[in-house]
Structure 1
Amino acid sequence: MCTYHTEFAELEGSAKGKDGWFSVTRAAVYVDHPYHAPLDHSVNIDFTAPELGPAARVAVELTEESARALVAAIEAALAAAPPGLAASPAKS
């Protein structure tokens, strides 16, 4: 059953789409029927830049186990990095 519930997160980062790299400013996370993955339901994450229109989108469809593994991997990577390193601005 679909929840029709979407969680949003404001982001600051980049993603690579069909036309190259673009800044992403938002993520939408929801459980629904996937578009492409051969699953009945999936955890769907859309990384978007709404201000650039619908083409500025990168989507992933994951199993529940894969989504939980991704969350754990992100938490582990952040915990292993020195404080503030992941948020450091690029040096010119």
Structure 2
Amino acid sequence: MCTYTTATLDLVGNAKNGTTWERVKTVSVYLDHPVAFPATHSLNIDLFADQDDPKRSAALELSPRSARELAEAILTMIAQAPDGLLEEG
């Protein structure tokens, strides 16, 4: 069942598309039918260079388990970073 609930966040970072790196400014996260992932539903993450440009920089379609493991790994890496390493400048 699709919830049509989407979290949209502003980002500061880059994404690689083929051989080219480009700035990403926005991410959308939602549960929906995947385009290519062989499942009925997936957690989808779309990265955009510009919120007003529908061209994705990168996209992920993840199983719920993989999405949860990715989120936990991100939080673990941030929690384990030495002081000052993750300061934004």
Same fold (TM over 0.5): yes
What corresponds to 2:16 in structure 1?
A: 16
What corresponds to 1:49 in structure 2?
A: 49
Asked whether the equivalents of residues 17 and 56 of structure 1 are also in contact (C-alpha less than 8 Å), the reply is: no
SS of equivalent residue, structure 1 residue 87: coil
Aligned length: 89
Asked whether the equivalents of residues 9 and 27 of structure 1 are also in contact (C-alpha less than 8 Å), the reply is: yes
Asked whether the equivalents of residues 29 and 43 of structure 1 are also in contact (C-alpha less than 8 Å), the reply is: yes
Q: Write the distance in 2 (CA, Å) between the matches of 1:54 and 1:20.
A: 18
SS of equivalent residue, structure 1 residue 46: strand
In the TM superposition, residue 52 of structure 1 has moved relative to its aligned partner by 7.9
Asked whether the equivalents of residues 6 and 29 of structure 2 are also in contact (C-alpha less than 8 Å), the reply is: yes
What corresponds to 2:61 in structure 1?
A: 61
User: Greater share of helix residues, 1 or 2?
Assistant: 1
Asked whether the equivalents of residues 4 and 31 of structure 1 are also in contact (C-alpha less than 8 Å), the reply is: yes
The TM-score normalised by the length of structure 1 is 0.86
The TM-score normalised by the length of structure 2 is 0.89
- CA RMSD in angstroms comes to 1.8
